[in-house]
Structure 1
Amino acid sequence: MIRLPALFRYILCLILLLGMFMSGETAAFAQTASGADKMDAVLVVDVSNSMSQSDKNGVSLEAMKMFVDMTSAQGNKIGVVAYTDKIEREKALMGVNAEQDKKDIKAFIDSLQKGAYTDIAVGVSEAIKILEDGHDPAHSPIIVLLADGNNYLNPATGRTQQKSDQDLDEAVKKAKAKGYPVYTIGLNADGQLNRTPLQQIAAETGGLFFETSTADKLPQILSEIFANHSKVKVVPLKNFTSNGQFQEVPLSIPNSSVLEANISITSGQAVELKLIDPSGKEAAIPSADILLSRSRAYTMVKMIQPAQGEWKLQVKGADRDKIAMNLIFNYDVLLEMEPIAAQPYKKGDIIPIKAALVTAGQQAVSPDLYKKMKAKLIVRELGSQQTSELELANTGSGFEGSFTVPDAKQYELKVKAEETSFYRETKPVTIDASQGAGGSASQPPAGAPAAEDDRPFPWLPVIIGTAGLILVAAGALALLSAWKKANKGFTGQIAIEIVDEDTGEKSHPQYKKLNAFKGKVKLHQLLQLAPEFQETDKVLFFPGKNDTLVLENRSGCRVEKAGRVLDASKGRELKKNDRIKISLTSVNKSVYVDYIV
């Protein structure tokens, strides 16, 4: 006879099999949910004419390009805002999944043109809107603002400094509320930097303020921004004056959990590089695992998943040229604390504390990752805001200790673990001992095991239940697939121009961000539902694969691409920078659509 616990085991196996059946969906979710180092960054730059003096060396553009190069090779999203007293140009958050994506963003940055006036509030407000429209909750948001801090308003518009200050204050409050830190870089080539607004923006949103007049400070500034935002540390490298020959710089990869090592190099003239791996073999630069990017102000080497050990970087610069270098690592690692029971506590209760490093939802098991790490419990008493620290023991696979409630008050607890190249903090947890009595830290004793019996195994109900579960799972998968299709997000934006075929008159381009829509969008919606364009209600756009757009024409309009009629009745794919012409039948006008990623 099969006893009752065997039935439980059978049902558990059934659940696991159903889990395998649905793994195609759940695996995709797990893949998306991982990625502790990923960020959604908006780069904001003042492109007013005054920057010709405060940034006469073009430091702002070099800084933005260097930021792009320093981000991870895959998985981030980057947007750009160029402002004067209005938005001159912008790029919505764009997924960076290949080196070409970075090149496209840097080419966009190089194409920015200057305008007459300046209004900081305009640039900051637009950056916040871009994050609101396209920020991935699994990524960390960040805004980097490059400006001289001065406003120069257009008197013809009637806008006052007071109104600009009010708008900036509202934008800063919104950024703070949404958790969008703003890092500001003040550009001071002409000595006219207005530090106050830039310092206040950074301080109030949780960012940092920096100041520079030359490009040689960029590696340190950008490294510190990355270090602060990504909870890593800038690793100092040897700086030297070149003798015209190859000079060696030691480079240590501390553990196997390093995803990327980023080496930034500034010099007056171009440098030659060689890289020797721990086995003594020269590694090709560039290669699949070692990326190289150059600009007039810097050289960047990105090592992807480098082998642990002692590397050697050999640098050859022009004679007497000063070579400055910085190194930061990217880690896909989080620190998580074991849950603490959400119950009232009292003075004297002992609460066990355990924390461990986690990657992709699993505990990191590499002993090298823990070898040099130290951890502490940070305790903040919420009334007085006083903090104290308790050392935790490193077990080689985590950190352990305990907290004894000192008084009848409320406390916030979090664990911080760090080593020479990075640190991580857990999310804070609040415990309440303010009532002075109640529960304790100990867990309630487990109940006695249920008694077994000798009843026969219920085959018929299990078979019927199994069939039912499979049908439910299949239905759930179908519904999930339909829901995902209806809620799939768009990438990039569309530029729309309307041409009157009778007069040849052309409208100014209208830029429509697509990430505000899910599943599909009608051209009529993008044309603000204007009655004369009613027939475009049947011209549809759907998000496609790999940042493409799918056009489906169910109307009588004629669609052309590169002068040839396009049959889009069953859907046609549009790629980045594709341009199509849609000729209307009800009015003698055409709509030109450019897909911009």
Structure 2
Amino acid sequence: MVPALFLVLSLAISPYAASTAHAAAPAPSHIDAVLLLDVSNSMNKSDKNKIASEAMKMFIDMLSTQGDKVGIVAYTDKVQREKALLQISSADDKQDLKDFIDGLDRGSYTDIAVGVEEAIKVLQNGSDPSHEPMIVMLADGNNDLNEATGRTQSQSDQELNQAVEAAKKNGYPIYTIGLNANGKLNKQILADLSDKTGGKAFATDSADDLPQILSEIFASHLKLKIVPVQSITANGSYQDVTVNVPNANVLEANISIMSSQPVTAKLTDPSGKSVAIPSGDVLLSKSKTYSLIKLLTPQQGDWKLQVKGVAKDKIDINLVFNYDLELKIDPLSSNAYKKGDKIDIASHLFSNGTQVTLSNLYQNMNAVLLATDIDTGTVEEIPLDNSGDVFKGTFEVKDNHNYELKVRAEESSFYRESDTVKVNAVKGTAGTGSTGAGTGTGTAGANEEPTDTSTSSKTLYFIIAGVLLLLAAGVALWMLWKKSTRGFVGQMVLEVRDGNTGEKTYPQYKKLNGFRGKFTLHQLLQLAPELKESEKLIFTPGKNDRLLVRGGDGLTVERSGRNADASRGMELKSGDRISVLLPSVDKTIMIEYLV
């Protein structure tokens, strides 16, 4: 069965969105995506139902009606077929891409490095600098090299590593969807590709998972939140589903209906008027496993979707909203402050470069000021007032330290974060000067008694020996102190995933230069009581800007998808990631170390 119905709102601005007098304002971000597909014969088993083709076509249909660019690379141990980045300007452009996908054939052998290299070249040759580049890879992760060519696995690995470095350098995250119908997925290599380039890795053996996976990819790339609505079981008649468009800033709504059996749908707008599918502002696209309805600049309010499916067929519903919105902090009066100063913070939303003054949009969001003490690494969350058309509050400087301020505003369907503002509250160095008693020279008076030089020498020897002993003890104590107060470099990125709900917190960036000697995971988590067992995991500084992880008794520590033994100590270098499972609360802490 292929359950799922979800709504995705494309980030790119709709061609029908109103323009403003600020014509010179930068346009909202579009996507430049390369769809990378393994079309070797091994996919006949790992993707026997051709999930990859359906995923790629659904991805294309989810994109905006205009502005995004898509390229396609199909590879075996060579580039089988390729389509350069095509800018989507019409429904015909999308159909052209989907027809290209339908025309792909299988071939012998597999060399992942060849495909990744080519996908990067496609982006390098055609990506717009103002767009958000990405690679979506669908494969089983297994190489099958042609021995007749003399190509070795080490050569392929070396070229793949070089390609990954190129992707990192250019800011091309690789999102991987591992296809595992035959149970022989090489999950590790695909996870490494995603981890090292800033993407995410997924795996599936069923088209059931595609809506959730593609929603996750969009959510990760475009600061969206997936909102579950409800699940229904078809009864053979039309069943009502409410789709709420929360405000006028929604640009495009894509309703994707997936079912193992054919589904028909009707649509009614918030005023109660029946809307034809398709019609002027409602587009329809179909594939063999899904239908996608796209609403252009939909009216705010509750839309009624009526879905009719075959009795007992299960349909799941998810919503993913997207907006042309940017969050900015108003300029501060100064960047230099001192302990005790109170700084007024104001932050506004902007749409297509114009400040949003719809107070209801602000009032539907929760906003916090994230104040990071650079010297200690601690992060303070300060709730902001949202009663008007601004997020506002006050930050009090607690110490003479450097701070970074950032506003995060979110509601049930999306979030936005402002750029970081730096605040210098380091106390100024006082003027220095030297004072001292006057010095002079003279001779002892003639009436002074002569000094016993022998006694003086012995006394001097004892003094020197005592000083040397004190120095040796001092050096030993200093070395012990230095070890216990040795500093850290870099930062950690933390995410907490709830094992019961699957929900994941937004990434938290923790500076490490405020710690000395050692710190616990619990300290990084701001000593949250429910996460107390995380104090069992201890971090100490290692050589060459590395970290040593020790402890974790009773915790499960994973590295690269495998259990790792941290009891004897484990080294982390920049870019390494680990996951720590806290069994008592069923939460997983995902950690990335960056220098």
TM-score > 0.5, shorter chain as reference: yes
CA contact (8 A) 2:20 2:354 kept: no
Aligned pair partner of 1:217 in 185, 209, 220: 209
Q: Distance in 2 between matches of 1:174 and 1:29?
A: 40
CA contact (8 A) 1:345 1:437 kept: no
Cα distance, 1:420 vs. partner?
A: 0.9
Matched, 1:357 2:345: no
> Which residue in 2 is equivalent to 1:269?
261
SS at match of 1:229: helix
Cα distance, 1:265 vs. partner?
A: 1.6
> Which residue in 2 is equivalent to 1:306?
298
Cα distance, 1:324 vs. partner?
A: 2.5
CA contact (8 A) 2:32 2:123 kept: yes
Aligned pair partner of 2:129 in 137, 142, 150: 137
> Which residue in 1 is equivalent to 2:168?
176
Cα distance, 1:334 vs. partner?
A: 1.0
What is the RMSD of the two structures over their aligned residues, measured on CA atoms? 2.2
SS at match of 2:322: strand
Matched, 1:156 2:135: no
Matched, 1:40 2:32: yes
Percent identity between matched residues is 54
Aligned pair partner of 1:326 in 311, 314, 318: 318
Cα distance, 1:335 vs. partner?
A: 1.0
CA contact (8 A) 2:362 2:391 kept: no
Cα distance, 1:429 vs. partner?
A: 3.0
Q: Distance in 2 between matches of 1:41 and 1:34?
A: 20
Aligned pair partner of 1:376 in 368, 381, 386: 368
Letter in 2 for 1:403: F
CA contact (8 A) 2:34 2:119 kept: yes
Instruction: State how 1:56-67 maps to structure 2 within 5 Å.
Output: 56-67=48-59
Q: Distance in 1 between matches of 2:377 and 2:109?
A: 44
CA contact (8 A) 1:172 1:201 kept: yes
Q: Deviations over 1:305-333 (max 9, x none)?
A: 11111111000111222222332223111
Q: Distance in 1 between matches of 2:341 and 2:105?
A: 64
SS at match of 1:396: coil
Cα distance, 1:147 vs. partner?
A: 0.9
> Which residue in 1 is equivalent to 2:120?
128
> Which residue in 1 is equivalent to 2:229?
237
Cα distance, 1:380 vs. partner?
A: 3.1
Matched, 1:85 2:77: yes
Q: Distance in 2 between matches of 1:171 and 1:265?
A: 37
Moved more, 367-376 or 50-59: 367-376
Letter in 1 for 2:186: N
Cα distance, 1:342 vs. partner?
A: 7.5
Distance 1:273 1:208, change over 3 A: same
Q: Distance in 1 between matches of 2:420 and 2:190?
A: 29
Matched, 1:112 2:112: no
Q: Distance in 2 between matches of 1:287 and 1:143?
A: 33
> Which residue in 1 is equivalent to 2:285?
293
Q: Distance in 2 between matches of 1:349 and 1:132?
A: 48
Q: Distance in 2 between matches of 1:45 and 1:264?
A: 23
Q: Distance in 2 between matches of 1:359 and 1:380?
A: 27
Cα distance, 1:140 vs. partner?
A: 1.4
Aligned pair partner of 1:195 in 184, 187, 196: 187
SS at match of 2:142: coil
Q: Distance in 1 between matches of 2:97 and 2:299?
A: 30
Cα distance, 1:368 vs. partner?
A: 3.0
Q: Deviations over 1:222-255 (max 9, x none)?
A: 1111122111222223222211111111111111
Q: Deviations over 1:356-381 (max 9, x none)?
A: 11111110122332221011122334
Q: Deviations over 1:263-308 (max 9, x none)?
A: 2221011111000111111100011211111111211111111111
Q: Distance in 1 between matches of 2:339 and 2:153?
A: 55
> Which residue in 1 is equivalent to 2:566?
none
CA contact (8 A) 1:345 1:431 kept: yes
> Which residue in 2 is equivalent to 1:484?
none
Structure 2 residues not aligned, in runs of 5+? 1-18, 431-595
Cα distance, 1:124 vs. partner?
A: 1.8
Distance 1:299 1:367, change over 3 A: same
Distance 1:203 1:30, change over 3 A: farther
Cα distance, 1:63 vs. partner?
A: 0.4
Letter in 1 for 2:411: E
Cα distance, 1:117 vs. partner?
A: 1.5
Q: Distance in 2 between matches of 1:125 and 1:340?
A: 45
Structure 1 residues not aligned, in runs of 5+? 1-26, 439-597
Distance 1:121 1:230, change over 3 A: same
Letter in 1 for 2:194: A
Instruction: State how 1:479-490 maps to structure 2 within 5 Å.
Output: none
Letter in 2 for 1:262: N
> Which residue in 1 is equivalent to 2:61?
69
> Which residue in 2 is equivalent to 1:259?
251
Aligned pair partner of 1:418 in 399, 402, 410: 410
> Which residue in 2 is equivalent to 1:457?
none
Q: Deviations over 1:543-595 (max 9, x none)?
A: xxxxxxxxxxxxxxxxxxxxxxxxxxxxxxxxxxxxxxxxxxxxxxxxxxxxx
Q: Deviations over 1:129-169 (max 9, x none)?
A: 22222222222112111111111122223222222222222
Cα distance, 1:434 vs. partner?
A: 4.7
SS at match of 2:83: strand
SS at match of 2:279: coil
- Normalised to the residue count of structure 1, the TM-score between the two structures is 0.65
Q: Distance in 2 between matches of 1:198 and 1:79?
A: 20
How many residues of Structure 1 are paired with residues of Structure 2 in the alignment? 412
Q: Distance in 2 between matches of 1:405 and 1:437?
A: 18
Cα distance, 1:338 vs. partner?
A: 1.9
Q: Distance in 2 between matches of 1:173 and 1:66?
A: 29
Distance 1:233 1:156, change over 3 A: same
Q: Deviations over 1:400-455 (max 9, x none)?
A: 123333334433322111111111111223334456569xxxxxxxxxxxxxxxxx
Letter in 2 for 1:228: S
Q: Distance in 2 between matches of 1:121 and 1:28?
A: 46
Letter in 1 for 2:239: Q
Q: Deviations over 1:336-356 (max 9, x none)?
A: 122346755444443332211
CA contact (8 A) 1:47 1:84 kept: yes
Greater Rg by CA: 2
> Which residue in 1 is equivalent to 2:271?
279
Moved more, 118-127 or 300-309: 118-127
Cα distance, 1:177 vs. partner?
A: 2.8
Letter in 2 for 1:154: N
- Normalised to the residue count of structure 2, the TM-score between the two structures is 0.66
> Which residue in 1 is equivalent to 2:331?
339
- Relative to total residues, which structure has the larger helix share, 1 or 2? 1
Q: Deviations over 1:460-495 (max 9, x none)?
A: xxxxxxxxxxxxxxxxxxxxxxxxxxxxxxxxxxxx
Distance 1:346 1:73, change over 3 A: same
CA contact (8 A) 1:346 1:436 kept: no
Aligned pair partner of 2:242 in 239, 242, 250: 250
Q: Distance in 2 between matches of 1:42 and 1:30?
A: 32
Cα distance, 1:104 vs. partner?
A: 0.7
